[in-house]
Structure 1
Amino acid sequence: MLDKLDFKKKQLLVIALAVLLLYIAYQFSFKNAFEAMRLNSQLRKDHRSESGQVVSYPQIERKDQFCAAIIKRYKVKKEDRENYLWQSLSGMAMANNVEISFVQGNTLPADTSALSKGTVVNQFNFRGPYVNIVHLLDTVSKSPGIGKIHMLKLESPKKENKKANDNRLILVLGLKGIEG
């Protein structure tokens, strides 16, 4: 069949097949590549124009929500904070049959930038049986508005101060929060 065609018709047939092959290649390969390149250049142009704005990605939004939840747990009430904190902790201590005392000379954070951000640190001493202290710690960890536990030290009283049959332990508890 191709033998019967003259040279000019063979050239037209080859050109038509080349055009057909080029069209098929464009539809299945080049079209998607050109669309991806166009979309990429458009996104880069949009990103350059929004250089001051934050691009919203689901991962960043989830991280922001997680960080906001953490900061919310550290928030302490600013107005009359020490009275609220003392009343809350003494109520929790009384409910769990534990003695409480406030340590004067609050331990301040070593980082001065933390002070400027409104970070507050308080330290309290509790005295009571082990089980009651554990219940108190559980209550304190679940209480909103007093900050979070940042330091915990459980110790037995020294032998010279210890009375016979006294199974009470001393808990030194540090609370850290952000005034808000």
Structure 2
Amino acid sequence: MSSDETGLPEGWQVRRSNTKNLPYYFHPDTKDSRWEPPAGTDTEKLKTYMGRYHSSKGISSSSFSAPEGKIRAAHLLVKHRDSRRPASWREPKITRSYEDAQHLIEGYRDRIRDGESLSELATTESDCSSASKGGDLGFFAKGDMQKEFEDAAFNLRKGDLSDVVATASGLHLIQRLE
């Protein structure tokens, strides 16, 4: 994988974590590793590369069964400069305002309501590292997520999409999978 293909600065690579099964960024010469892309990354090239090679579109919910007391959901996260950690795999420093983030996520919500899948959009547009899995967060129980996120997710029926949910992490659209 070349810098021209990934958009990463020279020497940087995309690798996959064995423990989290998520992509991360690694520089073999310096042994530097990080979850967010390094400074100097061409985020548009990286977005295209990650969508092509590091997504798991089409995860079938029928191959999973929900453990007792747990649900499974996917989400699309849009961070803003006041988010708890204003950086992501797409952007090393997020500078957009809350209002700009709100406008973006409302546009994604409208696109999903018009027939696009949350999974497809999350793969390229979400500021969460779960983008590589189409936004799929796996199974979680009450107490595992931020309260606002958890309340919204547990109140959805399977297949339903939430309205915009604000947490300390940013703005979310949540879809209940199981």
Fold conserved (TM > 0.5)? Answer: no
Specify which structure has the higher proportion of helix.
1
Kindly name which structure, 1 or 2, has the bigger radius of gyration based on alpha carbons: 1
TM range (shorter): under 0.3
